[in-house]
Structure 1
Amino acid sequence: MLKRRINLATAAAGAALVAVAVAGCGSNAQPIQVNLAASEVLAQAAQKTAEVTSYTVDAVVETAHPQESKGKVQGRMLYQSKPQLAADLTLDTLDMGGKGLPGGVRAVLQGDVVYVKVEALKELVGATKPWIKVSLSEMGGSGEVKQYLDQIQQFDLASVTKMVTASKDVKSVGTESVDGADTTHYSGTFPVDVAVQQLPADQREQASRNLAELKDVKFDIWVDSDGLPRKLALSGAKEGATLNATLFFKGFNEPVKIEAPPADQVGELPKGTTN
């Protein structure tokens, strides 16, 4: 019997699992050759992820547990790595066990600072302004705000692409159009314990914790002619608990506008809530 449900963190990290990273889509991108094996296509896509400088991802993650209510996360994230690391995450739906957050959640990451906007924080930590500003260096390993920052990490694309390469049974199952782009559809599974080892050492612990309840994950990934993932669907189950996530990727290497909220709407996190 599961000691804890597949919760929101598991879901989006699963979505993270999903986070099929996007790869360089500039004019120098070379089409993937049709004679490559499916596993080679994934490996080549993973290599390209390091070249991506920006993207947009739309995601829906749903969870269920036989002893608990269903959960759902739905939102969009804009990401850029240059000129500085930045992300803008909007969660329109954040429902866990029938308890949602009115107004959703917004989180903006700029360098080593994260801004979070959620009504619930006013009651949880005594916030007095719409946005809370937190320095990542001061946040520590826990805190009320960190759970929202984790959502940004869980939508990360590069991590997921690496995890998908752990598959030993991936195969091509046809061609399809995704958001107007011609793609090849690949399907397979990967073991979570092996997939986590594909990540940098400093990311493995978080991924392992979020996905601990899943053993094997089924995935479907749609890759375009430039080797860029356009869509990824993920599903996993264990002892009646289930996870299903679908992510769509676009805007590879296109300019994105990620701005901090107006200064007069930003407050500091009250002391005693960062650890």
Structure 2
Amino acid sequence: MRRITLAIAATGAVAALALTGCGSSPAQLGGVELAAAEVVQQSAQKAEAVTSYTVDAVVDVTGGEQRSGRIQGTMRYQSRPRLAADLTLNTVNFGGRDVPGGAHVILLEDTVYVNVDALNKALGATKPWLKASLSDLDAEDQKQAREMADRVRQFDLAGTVQMISTSKDVQAVGTETVGGVETTHYSGTFPVETALAQLDPDKRDRAREELAEIENMRFDMWADAQNLPRKITLSGEADEGSFNATMLFTGFNEPVEINAPPADQVGELPERTGDAPTGD
């Protein structure tokens, strides 16, 4: 059985971004004035219906020399008719160390393709892409692969807005143009533990692991006339550091074409992480 430990470690940042009450300052939506909290609640419902989108994201983490870093990249995402994601991380830096060339990950249901120069060099790979399928893995590695898929699912728009919808202090703070689209800007906070309860169980545990040290999260959301988020920022502080993320969303429900890399560019992971790939 092939081992995927290094591949999982190299791409564990896939979802480092990866997530009713009363408000004031009514907003105009379809000719009807809605309180800010109602708009956010409707936004969560709208996000549930989105099956594809593109997100440009940057995450900055501070927490001492070994825990500080930045991840920046773009992901194209599709939940139906099958789960598929194409993630390009242009910047991956943690503990003062860069991942040269960044990382490129493609997830197609139960199969993951990884292109990370540093990983390829460590394994002596002769082809740019490494592939792992659940059917090739033992029980422990299947668990790790499923956790990675869960990280990608966490990156979804709906989960983030569901968490925001638990805010008790959200307010509309003005109108702004985001990516050429007129939006209303909302701002507030939400308690992380309460927000996590809104997520599906398969997303909740992973999100709790990522956000465990943050009690309250600050957010800003810019929603368009259809009440879909065009931009979301999240920020939080803990005893040992801080977390800041910015996500720009486009291409809602537009067709997404995500394919496996060319077969002649793909090699299999080795039987053990210390072995060279077969190149088949």
Q: TM-score range by the shorter chain?
A: 0.7 to 0.9
CA gap 1:182/1:136 in 2 versus in 1, 3 angstroms: farther
Q: Which has the higher contact order (CA 8 A, sep 6+)?
A: 1
1:57 is matched with 55
In 2, the alpha carbon distance for the partners of 1:51 and 1:40 equals 17
Aligned-pair CA distance for 1:146: 6.5
1:237 is matched with 237
Whether the 8 Å CA contact 2:36–2:170 is kept in 1: the answer is yes
1:35 is matched with 33
In 2, the alpha carbon distance for the partners of 1:225 and 1:99 equals 42
Moved more, 61-70 or 48-57: 61-70
Whether the 8 Å CA contact 1:169–1:188 is kept in 2: the answer is yes
Whether the 8 Å CA contact 1:175–1:182 is kept in 2: the answer is yes
1:132 is matched with 130
SS of the aligned residue for 2:18 comes to: helix
Q: Residue deviations 1:158-200, cap 9 Å, x none?
A: 2111111111111111111111111110001111111111000
Q: Point out where structure 1 has 5 or more consecutive residues left out of the alignment.
A: 1-7, 18-30
Once the two structures are superposed, the pairs formed by residues 214-233 of structure 1 within 5 Å of their partners are 214-233=214-233
| TM-score, structure 2 as length reference | 0.81
Whether the 8 Å CA contact 1:56–1:251 is kept in 2: the answer is yes
In 2, the alpha carbon distance for the partners of 1:122 and 1:84 equals 28
**Cα RMSD over matched residues?**
2.5
Structure 1 runs (4+) deviating above 6 angstroms are 8-12
In 1, the alpha carbon distance for the partners of 2:184 and 2:11 equals 30
Q: Residue deviations 1:25-57, cap 9 Å, x none?
A: xxxxxx555511211111111112222121110
Q: Residue deviations 1:202-248, cap 9 Å, x none?
A: 11111111111111100000001101000001110111401111110
1:202 is matched with 202
Q: Point out where structure 2 has 5 or more consecutive residues left out of the alignment.
A: 1-9, 20-28, 274-280
Identical columns (%): 53
Q: Which has the larger radius of gyration?
A: 2
Aligned amino acid, residue 59 of structure 1: A
- Verify: 1:79 aligned to 2:77, yes or no: yes
In 2, the alpha carbon distance for the partners of 1:61 and 1:134 equals 27
In 1, the alpha carbon distance for the partners of 2:107 and 2:92 equals 19
Aligned-pair CA distance for 1:133: 1.1
